[in-house]
Amino acid sequence: MKKQLFLALALLGGSSSAFAADCELNINVQDAMTFDKPSLEISLAKCDNVTLKLKHEGKMPKTAMGHNWVLTTTADQVPVASAGVTAGAANNYTPVDDKRVIAGTEIIGGGEETSITFSTKGLKVGGDYTYFCSFPGHSFLMKGKFIVK
């Protein structure tokens, strides 16, 4: 929650142009190690900020089948997932103050939903990005391509 608030404040303080647009992405999960979409796509020309909404349509508690949505470069995905396990449940299995984490939600369980809003400023068109769930053991299967156009 703290990280989301910080990002929201950072966005408010940023200089957004008159044509600034906020884009919304939705992705759902269930009581299985998979996202309902194999990829997500944004356009830098259209999106200054992106709000990613994650919905857990399953029934299992977050301690057993928790999921989140973390965005990194594809090269950083495996090391960040490992660092996330070390960071532990209290940190949503996401390394704290780690620049490799472009965006990340909290871990949620069945019936819950969450979202994260982040700036697209640092993203590059055609860059190689991956989103994944950093719950221990999930990231090997639970990931997708984040396409920036």
Asked if 35 is part of the footprint of Cu ion (rule: CB under 5 A), the reply reads no
Q: Binding residue for Cu ion (CB under 5 A) from 69, 133, 143, 144?
A: 133
Asked if 135 is part of the footprint of Cu ion (rule: CB under 5 A), the reply reads yes
Query: Least CB distance from residue 135 to Cu ion, whole Å?
Result: 4
Q: What number of chain residues touch Cu ion (CB under 5 A)?
A: 5
Q: Binding residue for Cu ion (CB under 5 A) from 77, 138, 143, 146?
A: 138
Query: Least CB distance from residue 83 to Cu ion, whole Å?
Result: 16
DSSP characters for the chain?
A: -HHHHHHHHHHHHS---TT--EEEEEEEE-SSS-BS-SEEEE-TTT-SEEEEEEEE-S-S-HHHH-B--EEEEHHHHHHHHHHHHHH-GGGTTS-TT-TT-SEEPPPB-TT-EEEEEEE-TT--TT--EEEE--STTTTTTSEEEEEE-
Q: Binding residue for Cu ion (CB under 5 A) from 3, 62, 67, 143?
A: 67
Query: Least CB distance from residue 67 to Cu ion, whole Å?
Result: 4
Asked if 143 is part of the footprint of Cu ion (rule: CB under 5 A), the reply reads no
Token pair, residue 37, equals 């979409």
- Select the residue whose beta carbon is closest to Cu ion and give its number: 133
Residue numbers at the binding site for Cu ion (CB under 5 A):
67, 133, 135, 138, 142
